[in-house]
Structure 1
């Protein structure tokens, strides 16, 4: 009788848990793959699953989405209208940079993200943390009017302290300093780190934070962007965060290999606009209005790179950067080179990569050889196997942890930024990428890729055939969770 009672109670709990799980997941609009993934978590792990969902699964509030969408793109809206008219005009002539396929991509970004096309930018590529931060710190020390910084991670370590020290010096000299950081990526509010900077007049805000964090903060939506704008004339965008691990080899990962850009030219104005959108949505009292000093035209820069700064995030269902990746891959005729720490494409992205490989295009994906997130890495290995079966190449980088987010197509177009090739970057994170239409920059990134290959080991189908059943199970199980990783 006692056993029967236990069975009945257990059955009732399972039924109630399943009903509540279905109601919880279907309460908010979400992708079908994410629905099944969350149902799996909530049903298999009844109590723990709901706790995890409360932190990671809830969608962004309508109020915050409105705050993000309602911002005026300072200095940008009029330019967008004029560029749409120009691109759709019969008088438009293709240049060496803006080919027909690039024109289609430019048009898509104008419509989906109001991403203006800027030309004659000068771009410098960094793949080494010491060189990147040395350059950034020099530029910050020479700031004359303002400094705007937005990073996913600003750690309270030697590198983070050096950054803040420079910002304190510039703030003391009368320079307007603004900083946005992500609480999840920076491990909290870091009030101690920024205390003196704030006292000197600097403004520091955690991205879209609320007063009652335990009740309202959704760590699932992270400000993953890495942007710096100095005097409206120099900009940085890419994958490097502010942390010692990007400068000093760690015991676990070794050298942290990433890619970042230093930009001079009107592309900086687009970075500036992106920063102010995030600032005005984050800061409740110190909102920024248009000022010529924030948007100076770069009349003396003799660069050759045409680019668009594209952003995406959970405030829009358009997944702009993902669409850009897919469009670039779909237009490839010779080669597709991808560097990413996390390779977890959704079904649409997976199919376009598989189609390219099956069409005879050289598709090569580079991923890390060591995991920083076990479930994520197992899912990455699963999808690596999927594209290997279609003839693509996959290599694991042995020179440390590969954190770069780079796409190069045909040696003509390229993208560098914060967005990984994973569902999280496509749908959940706030991301920012530079899409560049310049053979010189694309071929430089292609050469960097080829140099990195010297430190890689190719993955083969035989490697997956030889792996244990347990390893295969972990990859398949992680793949089930991929929409929410």
Structure 2
């Protein structure tokens, strides 16, 4: 068994650790109360002096937080906690607030595979063509290219508006894999879907195809058994567990997760979107009403962008591949197609230079006619909220498509509500997906450019998680997304400012309180 696969005793530690993450918050508050009581009852005349020292320490840490680069809202939340509850604040900051945590998960800082000279020249040529065709989208592509993300041509794309169709396509291509398969998913859950996928992976591995899997440990605490992990390994499949919870019981680094959704076959086909490998995403079980999701298949040159992302993460986790880089490049003929494709990724090791958040901001500010966004969660910086309001004020048709039925993150849904009033007052249209939970993550701008990937519009995506996505410029797939968004809106209820104002008083109060802790939800 690979050293990173949890054994039975480690599995117990993982389950204990899940409760520990929640319990730590309660314990720090208890520590704050206990410290105050101790100072009051036992030190008496020295209590004020000692507590002043604690407050001063809280102020010093708060100043340190203020001076760090990064999210203003993130810093403000920590500063308020440190100043109001110095004992709790400093304890939690040591556990969750420092940037060292993100860099201490046994990950090595490894750049994406360097560009060959031919690739660099081709990407520069593609960028020049896109700039001539659409200067605004050319600026966005140039921003990402400067951060190492190639702009590809010779790429086709197929959009999927539901998980069932997505998985039928994925499984069909997995069964025809000739060289290798990469899978990187936040959730890889036992069930009917996994049984089908594993059957194909086992057969392909037996046929000599290299199969590699990365999954996030926290996303699968109760959904993947030791027996299943052992069966995967016994089939000759290489597995890596991202940020194993049992390893960090004492350091509680649960905030930093691998939230990506990537599948690659032979370097020629790649899939991404909001869809995880679990039955609810395929409509095989019902959770929170109808589970509406989306994904895309990339075929051709652009698929290598996702292969490179997987290889980078595999190497960051200390693993190597048995063959040279060229072995993992596509051996298929590239499709001759229109438009441009630009896969990209992000994660805590990139902060404070955050490509995904900046990409969203540039999409919002560059849209001239329309901007449609689907997201299951919404908790953003003031700069992004203001950008949406400005776009709507400027006459852009801005629409936000959100779940009608929240998932188990009820508090997060209430936090999202606190943003809606301002958006509605500026003319943003909000659609609540009536049949159930809208988990799709996409942006459509001017019916010219689309973004799809693993990215939510919240602090976790923009500050804490490892994420992935793809920008598709002037490709036919853009119209496929438009058609699906029309279907979503036809099944949705238009949420109005009257609806927002008519929320009950307790919901308004608690939503506002929860927003104070939005960065931790």
Question: Would you call these one fold, judging by a TM-score over 0.5?
Answer: yes
- 1:70 corresponds in structure 2 to 110
Match of 2:307 among 272, 278, 291: 272
- 1:357 corresponds in structure 2 to 392
Superposed, 1:241-390 pairs within 5 Å as 241-248=276-283, 250=285, 252-282=287-317, 284-287=318-321, 290-296=324-330, 298-316=332-350, 317-372=352-407, 373-390=409-426
Query: 2 CA distance for matches of 1:69 and 1:178?
Result: 20
Cα gap change, 1:377/1:55 in structure 2, threshold over 3 Å: closer, same or farther?
A: farther
For the 8 Å contact 1:60–1:218, the answer to whether it is kept is: no
Query: 2 CA distance for matches of 1:9 and 1:473?
Result: 38
Are residues 1:479 and 2:518 paired?
Answer: no
Cα gap change, 1:42/1:168 in structure 2, threshold over 3 Å: closer, same or farther?
A: farther
Unmatched 5+ stretches in structure 1? none
For the 8 Å contact 1:80–1:115, the answer to whether it is kept is: no
Deviation of the 1:42 alpha carbon:
5.9
Secondary structure at the residue paired with 2:254?
coil
Query: 1 CA distance for matches of 2:266 and 2:123?
Result: 28
Cα gap change, 1:251/1:84 in structure 2, threshold over 3 Å: closer, same or farther?
A: closer
Deviation of the 1:247 alpha carbon:
2.1
Secondary structure at the residue paired with 1:442?
helix
- 2:77 corresponds in structure 1 to 37
Are residues 1:180 and 2:214 paired?
Answer: yes
Cα gap change, 1:191/1:75 in structure 2, threshold over 3 Å: closer, same or farther?
A: farther
Moved more, 43-52 or 24-33: 43-52
For the 8 Å contact 2:62–2:82, the answer to whether it is kept is: no
Cα gap change, 1:433/1:471 in structure 2, threshold over 3 Å: closer, same or farther?
A: same
Deviation of the 1:249 alpha carbon:
6.1
Are residues 1:194 and 2:229 paired?
Answer: yes
Match of 1:436 among 469, 472, 475: 472
Deviation of the 1:85 alpha carbon:
4.6
TM-score, with structure 1 as normaliser: 0.89
Residues 393-450 of structure 1, C-alpha deviations (whole Å, 9 max, x = no match): 1111112210011100111110000011112211111111110002522222112111
Deviation of the 1:10 alpha carbon:
8.2
Superposed, 1:133-152 pairs within 5 Å as 133-152=167-186
Query: 2 CA distance for matches of 1:176 and 1:242?
Result: 19
Cα gap change, 1:178/1:320 in structure 2, threshold over 3 Å: closer, same or farther?
A: same
For the 8 Å contact 2:131–2:139, the answer to whether it is kept is: no
- 2:203 corresponds in structure 1 to 169
For the 8 Å contact 1:68–1:315, the answer to whether it is kept is: no
Deviation of the 1:125 alpha carbon:
1.0
Secondary structure at the residue paired with 1:344?
coil
Deviation of the 1:172 alpha carbon:
1.9
For the 8 Å contact 1:228–1:236, the answer to whether it is kept is: yes
Residues 219-248 of structure 1, C-alpha deviations (whole Å, 9 max, x = no match): 111111100111111111111001111123
Are residues 1:214 and 2:249 paired?
Answer: yes
Unmatched 5+ stretches in structure 2? 1-36
Deviation of the 1:27 alpha carbon:
5.5
Cα gap change, 1:443/1:40 in structure 2, threshold over 3 Å: closer, same or farther?
A: same
Of Structure 1 and Structure 2, the greater helix share is in 2
Secondary structure at the residue paired with 1:116?
coil
TM-score, with structure 2 as normaliser: 0.83
Moved more, 50-59 or 116-125: 50-59
Cα gap change, 1:256/1:57 in structure 2, threshold over 3 Å: closer, same or farther?
A: farther
Deviation of the 1:37 alpha carbon:
1.8
Across the aligned residues of Structure 1 and Structure 2, the Cα RMSD in angstroms comes to 3.0
